[in-house]
Chain A
Amino acid sequence: MIRAVRAEGLALRRGERTLFEDFNLALGAGEAMALTGPNGAGKTSLLRAIAGFIAPAAGQIAFQGAAGALEPDEARRGGVHLIGHQDGLKPGRTALGELMFQAGWTGGDEAGALAAAETLGLTRLLGLAVRHLSAGQRRRLALARLVASPRALWLLDEPLAPLDAARRAQFGELMTAHLAAGGLILAAVHDPLPIAARAVALGG
């Protein structure tokens, strides 16, 4: 289980362009961090670098567990969940099928997935094909999968964008519960998060 994540002297490059250099970040258990910055500052790339998809041009990303440093690939496979711009849901499959596969794949169980769906008000929609869900409903399904997966580090890329005010407040409660259980949240946002979070600005 991930207890802390640290980036030191991180530099990311996309193509010829350097997004940022010498970036430092430290996040511990129970902490939330809001990444802000203009479009193209590298918020998404930073999240994807921490998730292991993008190799940094310089610097390193390290994960700490209860018993010391963790092997990065192993830490990611068992402890990281990324909600990107896309929800990763197949239009032709039912919401229930997608939720069960994805929550199970990331280590959750069926009871937890159903409970998460109920919390997010999805129970009545589970029988529908994903293509019949609205953007907000699809995002709620992705968030139910996130909540149902026993992953410590949540990497969230604009998680609230398609949600209405009530659902945002509700997801705030779920984030608070995750932090109280020793989780870590790193979210790229334009609007403020509904919970108290350290703000870090990228680029300018």
Chain B
Amino acid sequence: MSAAARLFRRELALAWSGGGGPLLALGFYAAVTTLIPLAASPDPRRLAGVATGVAWVALALASLLSLERMFERDFEDGALDLISLGPLPLEAVAAIKALAHWTAAGAPLALAAPLAAVALGAPVALAPLIAVTAAIGGLAFAFVGGLGAALALGSRRGGLVIAVIVLPLIAPPVIFGGAALDAFAGGLPWTTGLLLLGAYALAAIALCPFAMAAACRNALS
């Protein structure tokens, strides 16, 4: 087994174990999307108008949940020392960790997003596009979120710091994805939003590993 595959399997196992990971994110997601009709209005016509937007925002929030565990646990128990002295440079390690985070939390959320949106009253025809935008957006969330997690290493209220760093950075993908869905629902050309979302995700995948690695090195020194 290659070193990259070995690390990816370990990250997935860690994400699934110890209470949390995908189940926690899905539970949170279900709770938020259920609260909206209770707090706003159960009127189906009003709900249908905001269904996709709510599904998107809840998705962005749910992807923040387990970010803190991405680097913090390995940093605190000394495993990050060991991993840095391994065969792969920290940049590759960071990319693998973000990818594993997406596989464990982002992908299940992308499957849940269309269900939540349709349950809130979004048209069923929108469901496939919601899943696609959620999957692509989730990738961007995982990589940008990983950057926040690496920057927050060693700070005492890491979870809060991560949210404050990451939320502004994930505004663009939320806007692009929401715009694509709105345009599709209104029968307008919708590919522009999807392409912009893809471009943002690709940029995050290309750039964030370098920033994550630099932040980790800084924390380890």
Contact = CB atoms under 8 A, between A and B. Distances in A.
B79 interface: yes
A85 B78 contact: yes
Contact of A105 (B13, B14, B82, B89): B82
B186 interface: no
A139 B30 CA distance: 42
A127 interface: no
B83 to A, nearest CB: 7
Contacts of A48: 221
B77 interface: yes
B13 A78 contact: no
Chain A CB within 10 Å — which of B76, B81, B83, B87 has the most? B81
A89 B86 contact: no
Interface in A56-82: 73, 76-78, 80-82
B86 A90 contact: no
Given A54-B221, A105-B7, A86 B85 contact: no
A105 B81 contact: no
Interface string A80-111: 11101111111111000100011011110000
Interface in A27-56: 48, 51-55
A93 B77 contact: no
A53 B18 CA distance: 29
B86 A86 contact: no
B82 A104 contact: no
B17 A92 contact: yes
Q: How large is the interface on B (under 10, 10 to 19, 20 to 34, 35 or more residues)?
A: 20 to 34
A59 to B, nearest CB: 16
B221 A89 contact: no
A125 B184 CA distance: 58
Nearest to A55: B221
Contact of A77 (B13, B17, B86): B86
Contacts of A51: 81, 85
Contacts of A106: 82, 85-86
Contact of A104 (B6, B81, B84): B6
Interface in B1-42: 1, 3, 6-7, 10, 13-14, 17-18
A86 B87 contact: no
A82 B87 contact: no
A141 B25 CA distance: 33
Given A101-B6, A106-B85, A86 B77 contact: yes
B220 interface: yes
Given A106-B86, A107-B87, A89 B6 contact: no
B73 interface: yes
Given A86-B78, A92-B17, A105 B221 contact: no
A84 to B, nearest CB: 5
Contacts of B3: 104-105
A102 B85 CA distance: 11
B79 A80 contact: no
Chain A CB within 10 Å — which of B78, B80, B89 has the most? B78
29 contacts: A51-B85, A53-B81, A55-B221, A77-B85, A77-B86, A77-B89, A78-B87, A80-B85, A81-B85, A82-B85, A84-B78, A86-B77, A86-B81, A87-B77, A88-B74, A88-B79, A88-B80, A88-B82, A90-B14, A90-B77, A90-B79, A92-B18, A93-B17, A101-B6, A102-B79, A102-B82, A105-B6, A105-B86, A106-B82
Interface of B: 1, 3, 6-7, 10, 13-14, 17-18, 73-74, 76-87, 89, 217, 220-221
The 7 A-B residue pairs whose C-beta atoms are closest, nearest first, are A86-B78, A88-B78, A88-B79, A92-B18, A88-B82, A105-B86, A53-B220
Interface of A: 48, 51-55, 73, 76-78, 80-82, 84-93, 97, 101-102, 104-107
